[in-house]
Structure 1
């Protein structure tokens, strides 16, 4: 019986990789001895290599992502040296970037991998590339539930991933889903049997006692009936973890807010992708955006629910200048969401943004994470400054340690003025913008708070 090693290099200890669990189940009825192994980027490459060699698997499978591709770029050639007879299978969004490793017995799987992996397994991992390209696509509804009861010890306390839908209709130019034309629901909300199966899977996820159950669906609230069913399910459970959803803000309505008024604290987490409040910039990126409506929704959520609100902004979008980004940051912070993530645009391969960036003379990192260095409207210095603000938000906002201070200061000062003052204080004290102890954070924030009150009194 051939041994198949499914391995993952995760970004941190708290992460899990659903891909390897899916692939295990896809060949669970075939005569293979399947082993799952997960490491992190902090694991020493030689230690990982020793363990892979010790397994002596005939087939070794890697999931390549933006966070681990450079690690795999070092690891896989060494695996090939030590185990030259092993079949290598590489899948995931960054798989194509490893195609330079191509040799006999190495497969690069692009796109949805379950059907192709099943095809390879049925053909003893010896099919040719032309045959593999004709492998039947398997929709999400026909893919087995990825987790087993025996996975409980491994998944306890981690981020546990689950999906109810594949595809996204919005085609935002910077997103990997921009070219994904699928529309695959795992379960139909009007089908009683489907809902029974969904309930069973959700109950199993809770039984693993993860730290967070993270739904990876793009725009989870796209299917309102299903979204309401799942939110209500978790609201009614004695659930030891929180549950995370990615939300498309323009689809939110009063009935969503009304339902979530009953959600207990520390149960539902929403990541709301605002990206920009500039409607013209948003439209050029493939997003319809009504900031006034989104602002109302955020305010109502803060006022009426206990939903944990994480907001995302994205700097570097075509046509958006520094002043516009700062305006968006100030507007979003004024609503006091629990977290404010200011990200710098990544020019991801196989997205429309890559072609647009080339045409607009963007500069960006050649290797992962492909971060934008300058755009058509932002200089490198401006992006550097926005990166500094992002680090300060992570230190002084997203840890949720100074909520009342921020609330009071924002009544008289803009968020960017406060962040500028924090940055100046760091420079004065010689502090980095990361990894600062809580005692030092407390002292810095106290100084800024007092200074802000003095400035306000002086103006009077």
Structure 2
């Protein structure tokens, strides 16, 4: 029997950890092949590749981002390979398998919960020609066509699962994000999350984990993204991992989702030792409204969150990503603005704004009537309104999120916007909401944009704010443009002055004084120099304005150095 395991990833750069676990765990049963697509592939192209493999059985991993397209693909597979058995698994079919199978007569079996052991049993029985009705986590049809529903199970001992990556796999995965888990389950029971459906946390042995990580390091993997729901759930488990990574000799980046308020001084001390770029942390804050948090069974220790995030950012050695959710119970627009401002004030590298989804299996679905939820009845089940936010407000916040992605999370305009917010009394939400209204009024949400155009839009928007000095905005936009994109994007409307000071800058580069600022500097040619460095003379002391808000009216030369690690700058004397 030939079995094909497949899924549609959300992006080309993603890879499927689940399929690799399933393939390795079941390889002693029959011939298995793995085939990954993305949701951007064409249906007929995917069908053609599946048909070429001529499988006797095909398994689809079903998720919120691919379920609609997967169902269409299954229908086409059944038409072209009518004798092929079709198995579905994953969170999108685990929680309402009966309804799914009633709507998809092409599907023969649904595996519920963690699928390794169950798929092994099912494939073994298919290989031997008869499937028992007693496989606990399989929903199937009986001889009369009635759907017999199973129940989800978990793998009790994760150490029985094989390491799902092999040397021969790594070339094909060279440009992909590598996913890895050292635990399953979550110690918390947040009602908007699928993790609330299972209890407890199971861990791989630490010796196994360190050996696995050494494999990734040996292959010089670009990024390993841990899918542990709460990486720092148990100190005796995660601390050795952090200590190992702090000492490792590698270029790989490791991504973790953490509960930052549960980090103590020992953990912070190890994080401080991390080489630049070795780890990045994702922190789910979701809301700062205490009533909201209580409603979804979540506890945020706000003082600890502030202290630990501020401390980690002060290390300047890792990327910090925090999350908020729009649409939670008891959070209206005023409350969300407060949550946004409190988190924004921490100045994370990225603040991701998500919208509540009424996921199958999540506890929040039982609260839908109580809180007046109206939501999409198809994937991604996103909330449209509730008794706290109207659809109009949530629709506006979708544009708000898009604007925020472009102007904050993209890493540009930080200094310009911080100045503008300070001139508006420090209300960051009010600033981005005004920018959102400006964006929608000009229907910018309906068209594509170049990076250069974003500078022009922000400049034009700021001209309509009475409290702003436009000379300050111009100079700050110059500064931000040189900090971002290695200084490669220089909007023509800004007052660049390289030609005005050409004589002074040429003397700087040819003289001895340059060694005081760049110890390793060696002049080669003007072309290479322009790629690595830039000198801009600002109309006032731009760095003092950024650091303290004070304006010192004297021209100030700033040297920008562009390298792989980012852009640095310093005042110089020409």
Q: TM-score, length-normalised on structure 2?
A: 0.74
Partner of 1:15: 14
Counterparts of 1:384 and 1:99, CA distance in 2? 34
Is 135-144 or 112-121 further displaced after alignment?
135-144
Alignment of 1:250-399 (within 5 A): 250-399=261-410
Counterparts of 1:456 and 1:276, CA distance in 2? 34
Partner of 1:455: 468
1:185-242 C-alpha deviation (Å, 9 max, x unpaired)? 111x4xxxxx2x3222112123444432110011111112322222222232233332
Q: Is the 8 A contact 1:141 1:184 kept in 2?
A: no
Q: Is the 8 A contact 1:363 1:372 kept in 2?
A: yes
Q: How far apart are 1:158 and its partner, in Å?
A: 1.2
Partner of 1:82: 80
The structure-2 alpha-carbon separation of the partners of 1:305 and 1:127, relative to structure 1 and needing over 3 Å to count, comes to farther
Q: Is the 8 A contact 1:249 1:274 kept in 2?
A: no
Partner of 1:148: 166
**Aligned to 1:174, what secondary structure does the other structure show?**
coil
Is 131-140 or 247-256 further displaced after alignment?
131-140
The CA RMSD over aligned residues, in Å, is 2.4
Counterparts of 1:324 and 1:134, CA distance in 2? 42
Counterparts of 1:230 and 1:13, CA distance in 2? 29
Partner of 1:175: 193
Q: Is the 8 A contact 2:320 2:350 kept in 1?
A: yes
Counterparts of 1:315 and 1:104, CA distance in 2? 37
Q: Is the 8 A contact 1:279 1:291 kept in 2?
A: no
Q: Is the 8 A contact 2:9 2:37 kept in 1?
A: yes
The structure-2 alpha-carbon separation of the partners of 1:211 and 1:101, relative to structure 1 and needing over 3 Å to count, comes to farther
Q: How far apart are 1:447 and its partner, in Å?
A: 4.0
Counterparts of 1:104 and 1:129, CA distance in 2? 20
**Aligned to 2:60, what secondary structure does the other structure show?**
strand
The structure-2 alpha-carbon separation of the partners of 1:409 and 1:296, relative to structure 1 and needing over 3 Å to count, comes to farther
Partner of 2:444: 431
Partner of 1:123: 125
1:403-453 C-alpha deviation (Å, 9 max, x unpaired)? 333443443432212212322442454422774211111222344566668
Matched, 1:442 2:455: yes
Counterparts of 2:159 and 2:386, CA distance in 1? 41
Counterparts of 1:437 and 1:142, CA distance in 2? 50
1:60-108 C-alpha deviation (Å, 9 max, x unpaired)? 0100000000001111011111111111111000123632355597110
Q: Is the 8 A contact 2:26 2:116 kept in 1?
A: no
Partner of 1:245: 256
May I ask how many residue pairs the two structures share in their alignment? 450
Unpaired runs of 5+ residues, structure 2, are 139-152, 471-549, 551-574
Q: Is the 8 A contact 1:116 1:137 kept in 2?
A: no
The structure-2 alpha-carbon separation of the partners of 1:367 and 1:102, relative to structure 1 and needing over 3 Å to count, comes to closer
**Aligned to 1:60, what secondary structure does the other structure show?**
strand
The structure-2 alpha-carbon separation of the partners of 1:178 and 1:434, relative to structure 1 and needing over 3 Å to count, comes to farther
Match of 2:246 among 202, 210, 235: 235
Is 87-96 or 100-109 further displaced after alignment?
100-109
Q: Is the 8 A contact 1:311 1:340 kept in 2?
A: yes
Q: Is the 8 A contact 2:224 2:255 kept in 1?
A: yes
Counterparts of 2:446 and 2:245, CA distance in 1? 37
Q: Which has the larger radius of gyration?
A: 2
Matched, 1:223 2:229: no
The structure-2 alpha-carbon separation of the partners of 1:300 and 1:355, relative to structure 1 and needing over 3 Å to count, comes to same
Is 259-268 or 234-243 further displaced after alignment?
234-243
Counterparts of 2:223 and 2:366, CA distance in 1? 36
Counterparts of 1:129 and 1:325, CA distance in 2? 52
Q: Is the 8 A contact 2:39 2:69 kept in 1?
A: yes
Is 307-316 or 224-233 further displaced after alignment?
224-233
The structure-2 alpha-carbon separation of the partners of 1:329 and 1:263, relative to structure 1 and needing over 3 Å to count, comes to same
Q: Is the 8 A contact 2:113 2:154 kept in 1?
A: no
Q: TM-score, length-normalised on structure 1?
A: 0.92
Q: How far apart are 1:402 and its partner, in Å?
A: 2.3
Q: Is the 8 A contact 1:156 1:208 kept in 2?
A: no
Unpaired runs of 5+ residues, structure 1, are 190-194
